[in-house]
Amino acid sequence: MGPSYDDVVIRRGSVQETAPGIGVVWILDRISGVRKAINTDECSVWRVA
């Protein structure tokens, strides 16, 4: 997990799978190596090149 600022959590990783019907994206966290589910209704997902 990256830095945290009050209610902001920054995760960096590659997208492994998406489920647009339920608003979930699974990423492989770059730092921990653990697969994480991100709820896109509650979070902002940014693509950074």
Q: CA angle at residue 15 from 6 to 49, to 5 degrees?
A: 80
Domain ranges of the chain: 4-39
Which pLDDT score, from 0 to 100, does residue 12 have? 86
pLDDT tens, residue by residue, 5-48: 677 777 889 999 999 999 999 999 998 999 999 998 888 888 88
Which pLDDT score, from 0 to 100, does residue 1 have? 55
Which pLDDT score, from 0 to 100, does residue 3 have? 60
Which pLDDT score, from 0 to 100, does residue 26 have? 95
pLDDT band at 2 (very low <50, low <70, confident <90, very high): low
